[in-house]
Structure 1
């Protein structure tokens, strides 16, 4: 069976970051691949939107089904956004790693908070990553485990706590560490300097103002887009339909991609 893990792991080069192209469905995955993506990421929020559900509402079964669909959509390695591992207990998080691997993923990200954004105690958060890492290393093929410290993003703890957690995750065996949206650019640089492991950065909020070269200069290895594409699509939908309903103005519909162009990209990955 094809092993996407080594090629995916090789992309994680500090100082030479690749862009993890986060999709929200099979169609967006294929378009991103046609545009030159090196790897695809799922987005739990983006996929939830397609189901008419809010962020953090997916079940493990939904995430696994979606992951398998995205894996089958293109030949590219796929990393899964698996929220908190859809479990609290370390042993259950380890089982999630095994199931994600069986779905064909090249890796997953595990957050250190519950679906309501409450952080796990730091020691428990580290134990969860230790169990996930042990499960990943016991797999018959390669698998890249990313450990996330989400408290800065969610306003639950500061950069010092994030650095302490990321150090614990590093020592617990994570392959890549990720503290989304630290307070400042210098804080992101501190995260990169705190480890020899590859660091993922999220291009969102103020960090979307920086270029790929900027991220490279401070040693970032991977730049993910999170739910950015899905939210951008929702923004366009909201804006255009608001113009139609409020002003009777359909002119924004002239600024779309042609069906033929999309069809051509999608056909590249059809059997």
Structure 2
């Protein structure tokens, strides 16, 4: 019998409470969710970039509607018995009420966690003003009360051109006070910055790996104080990289050796069973 949403939530919560760090990889559809589940990971997270690429769109806050995002989330939830946390972008609207509605819909979709970020999608003003950003997380946290859902609050400074560690920490500390369960600042440049963030807050910290030039190990991240390690859209990009290599070999050399590195049809079928 498949675990209930409440049971998945308890499992997910316990992962954040035990010693050390755990990896939460990011599938982008049912098939990749099944593959990652088969490899023994303990939880999954969705990726807006992976969904966008699979739909032939550029990654960005305007790339996906809330309905498309949550439909993808349901597909992944239904494909695996693991807890699933979602990339809920900026809550699909600037107003705190948008965040509340998105959290409610996420819970209805069977998710047991999700992230709300402080990026606006506006190149002229890429980060929500501090007070509004905190208000949005507070509203989202209130929507989670009594629900089987862990809220992750994201400070987007470092991937939106604002390389300000002090402001990033100030925001994460405020998000913690506002009720976030997990804190996340993607794009931190080095282990010193990661450790500074972990030391500055008391809630579990998520970091993203798989970015170009960032190669810290799980053990190194755990030593710095990290609790959860996600990979964002990097696995989707790795899959696209494999496709590009195979297609380029055919087009430029007229050979098909990529087939030796591909999953066999039997293995692929077995993984989807």
TM-score normalised by length of structure 2:
0.93
**Partner of 1:109 in structure 2?**
115
**Partner of 1:257 in structure 2?**
263
One of 123, 127, 134 as aligned partner of 1:119: 127
Q: CA deviation at 1:157?
A: 4.0
One of 36, 53, 63 as aligned partner of 1:49: 53
One of 218, 223, 229 as aligned partner of 2:229: 223
Q: CA deviation at 1:205?
A: 2.6
- Cα deviation, 1:22-76, whole Å, max 9, x if unaligned, reads 0011000001001101001111110111111111200000011111111111111
- Decide whether the 8 Å contact of 2:191 with 2:221 is kept in 1: no
Q: CA RMSD in A?
A: 1.5
The structure whose RCO (Cα within 8 Å, separation 6+) is larger is: 1
Give yes or no for the alignment of 1:171 onto 2:197: no
3-state SS, counterpart of residue 197 of structure 2: helix
Measured in 2, the distance between the counterparts of 1:116 and 1:15 equals 39
Measured in 2, the distance between the counterparts of 1:207 and 1:67 equals 29
* Unaligned runs of at least 5 residues, structure 1: none
* Unaligned runs of at least 5 residues, structure 2: none
Q: CA deviation at 1:15?
A: 5.0
- Cα deviation, 1:162-184, whole Å, max 9, x if unaligned, reads 11111111111100000111122
Question: Which aligned runs of 4 or more in structure 1 are off by greater than 3 angstroms?
Answer: none
- Decide whether the 8 Å contact of 1:15 with 1:215 is kept in 2: no
One of 9, 15, 29 as aligned partner of 1:11: 15
3-state SS, counterpart of residue 30 of structure 1: helix
Measured in 2, the distance between the counterparts of 1:2 and 1:54 equals 32
**Partner of 1:136 in structure 2?**
144
3-state SS, counterpart of residue 152 of structure 1: helix
Q: CA deviation at 1:229?
A: 0.6
